[in-house]
Amino acid sequence: MVARISTLFGNRRDAMSHPLQRRAMPALRVSTILIGLTVPISTALDNFLLAVVLLGLLFNAPAVWQNMSRNPAARAAWLLFGMLALAVFYGATPTGEAFGVLGKYIDLAFVPLFMLMFAAEKTRVWAERAYIGAMGLTLFLSCLVGFKLLAVQTWMSGISSADNPVIFHSHITQNNMMAYAAFLALLKCRDALTGRSRLAWLAFAALAIANVLFMVQGRTGYIILSLLLCWFAWTSLARYSRQRGKIWGWKQGAMVMLASIFLVTGAYFVSPRLHERVSLVAAEMQAWQPNQENQSSSTGTRLNFYYNAIQIVAKHPLLGVGTGGFEAAFTGQIQGTNLSTTPNPHNEFLLISAQTGLIGLALMVYLFATLWRTAPRLDTAYGQDAARGLVLAYVVNCALNSALHDHADGLFFAWMVALLFSTLRIRRHG
């Protein structure tokens, strides 16, 4: 049985000298695959599977270290995590609380370990299927609830309703993950070898896009999806032009951008719900005044978070207030106002900057830049475009939410980075 599982999910010739190591690796690979299934669904299952995968470090520490030192994506993730770990030891936050916040970023440290588990192509294939399957289930249930074919169940998200058919996580997380799933489906459709397969992926993408734009109320997902659709059009037409020996320049790119803007604008006017949500943001931004409490304005609340977080960064520009120190610093910053405190400013760039200063911000930018720069060295056009799409999605997500601080979004980012960049062709100088 172990031999069969090993054949399915990995290479039986792994360099494993100990019998216990040989027996453990198939289970560790399966657990890594299953994270793709559980991350859109269950935090409890995620944590259990992470604990199982962590056992892999006991058997494979040298290989994990090699991934961290040689793979630029893993190295960049570890540099950011390392800065957050260092920042635990300064600032006024009690050590226990600081380590608790550091634990929210532990997913970054898993990147080289995940990469080891994704060394075999079959493992990567099954992992991607697990994620697409989880999003397919989410999409199916969301459509049933949205069309009132299924009543909201007690095990669904507490905010789920027919007007906002959220299934497992928040509307923000579901829309963000669904937008990326739609993008992957479009890439699969582009590369499909048969008409039936192409039609299936196109149908999945169309339903997922409709779910994001017209059913679920996560506004970050609107922006991510729009950007990913533009990127899909850009890169697909660029590749097509190169295959035909044609020049792909700024004129052709401008036409793609204009067409994408036209489609997004059309969706804005066609959908009353989308129109209402976007218009509400614009009105709330116009009405916002710094440090004026407005309980009915989610946009105003966010802008107050951003405004005061920037003040914290300005006071502690180099090293920040330390990991876990944001909430206390924010509480001190808003003294004398009627604002409520917050453990994070719903902006990862500001949260990292406040905790670790401009050094941490530079490492976060370095992480995204490294992923973007090395994506062309992946082994397939699908992987290259999916990797850069992931970067675009998370730059937006981190600009509007504390995405790496959040469990589901942060774990999905680390898992997907490992899945895509485990095939990176390593150069001598990285």
pLDDT digits (tens, 9 = 90+) for 89-107: 998 899 999 999 999 999 9
Q: Which residues contact 194 (CB under 8 A, 6 or more apart)?
A: none
What is the C-alpha radius of gyration for the chain, rounded to an integer number of angstroms?
22
3-state secondary structure of 12: coil
Cα separation, 63 vs 57, in Å, equals 9
- pLDDT over threshold 90, residue 68: no
pLDDT digits (tens, 9 = 90+) for 109-122: 999 999 999 999 99
Place of tokens 């719903």: 346
Confidence of residue 26 (pLDDT cuts 50, 70, 90): confident
Confidence of residue 137 (pLDDT cuts 50, 70, 90): very high
For range 288-295, the mean pLDDT: 66
Burial class (CB in 10 A: 0-12, 13-18, 19+), 320: buried
pLDDT digits (tens, 9 = 90+) for 365-411: 999 999 999 999 998 999 999 999 999 999 999 999 999 999 999 99
DSSP alpha helix (H) spans, 218-325: 219-243, 250-270, 272-287, 298-315
For range 34-60, the mean pLDDT: 91
Percent of the chain predicted with pLDDT > 70? 81
pTM summary value: 0.88
DSSP state of 164: B
pLDDT at 278: 66
For 131-166, letters b (16+ CB in 10 Å) and e give bbebbbebbebbbebbeeebebeeebbeebeeebbb
pLDDT at 269: 66
Confidence of residue 430 (pLDDT cuts 50, 70, 90): very low
Q: Would you kindly state where each structural domain of the chain is located, as residue ranges?
A: 2-287+340-421
Cα separation, 253 vs 68, in Å, equals 36
Burial class (CB in 10 A: 0-12, 13-18, 19+), 206: middle
pLDDT at 233: 86
